[in-house]
Amino acid sequence: MDLGIKNEIYLVTGGAKGIGEGIVRALAEEGAIPVIIGRSPEVGKVLLGELEEKGLSGYLIHKELGTPESCKEVVDEVVSEYDKIHGLVNNAGVNDGVGLERGTPETFLESLHKNLYHYYYLAHFCLPHLKKTKGSILNISSKTAVTGQGNTSGYAASKGAQMALTREWAVELLQYGIRVNSIIPAEVMTPLYENWLQKFENPEEKLKDITRNIPLGERMTTKEEIASMAVYLLSKQASHITGQHLYVDGGYVHLDRALAGTDLV
């Protein structure tokens, strides 16, 4: 299937690691030009080098996304280099464990700053360019927004806001033909997830406790599976899909977890 995105320019925040890396690779393999945006320049350089070795294209921007000014600088650099923007993938963030009891009003605001504000900043500055291309915006959210997790108020609030903004922007941008969707992962093995697992006394047993509750296959979702959905939603093949929350989670959120481990799956 030709996704119709060859030579198109897509910004991917947090693009050097985890889900972002998977999306960058999938975009490049479809002939698009992913812009890897992140704060790990050495990791980003390795990823860009691997793409180029395969004859694929990409572009790297090392930037902290904490301020409107830094986000504008990212967009300005991309437009200066390529003159166009076809899509934005808002992905960067961290589950920082700022809870109601363990956190403070100050750390809660810091968590929103790290996980939410740059989603708006980048969409705002990309908008004039997305109007020209009738491009799309994809927000990577999390199941924590709909299930809760415990002790992560800032992250959960940010992810819930991202889902709300997906619908709000989809409505506002209908007039420009700009589509806005979100992907809701549940359990995906990323470097951040691996770091979280290592905090437990028995990480392997903790992982088994998690995967046995995932109905489809009792396994983690891969970053490649998230990336496949992401690239499809950004592409022309999804030209009549907007305002949607797509759960790529093996049935974790919506199916009865009692099904896991039975003959039904």
pLDDT computed for residue 31 by the predictor: 98
Q: What is the CATH number of the domain that holds 251?
A: 3.40.50.720
Domain membership of residue 3 (yes or no) is no
pLDDT digits (tens, 9 = 90+) for 130-189: 999 999 999 999 999 999 999 999 999 999 999 999 999 999 999 999 999 999 999 999
CA separation for the pair 55, 195 (Å, rounded): 33
CB 181 within 8 A of CB 244: yes
The average confidence (pLDDT) of the chain is 95
Take residue 161 and report the two structure tokens written for it: 């806001």
Contacts for 208-211 with beta carbons within 8 Å, 24 or more apart? 211/187
- Report the pLDDT value the prediction gives residue 261, as an integer from 0 to 100: 65
The pLDDT tens digits for 208-256 are: 999 999 999 999 999 999 999 999 999 999 999 999 999 999 999 999 8
How far is residue 231's CA from residue 253's CA, in Å, rounded to a whole number?
A: 22
Q: Is the pLDDT of residue 111 over 90?
A: yes
Residue showing tokens 């996704």 = 3
Pick the catalytic residue from 10, 119, 155, 252.
Answer: 155
- Overall domain count for the chain: 1
Domain of 191 in residue numbering reads as 9-259
> How far apart are alpha carbons 138 and 153 in whole angstroms?
23
Query: What's the pLDDT tens digit per position in 44-97?
Result: 999 999 999 999 999 999 999 999 999 999 999 999 999 999 999 999 999 999
Model confidence at 207, pLDDT cuts 50, 70, 90, reads very high
Does residue 155 carry a catalytic annotation?
Answer: yes
Domain-embedded: residue 170:
yes
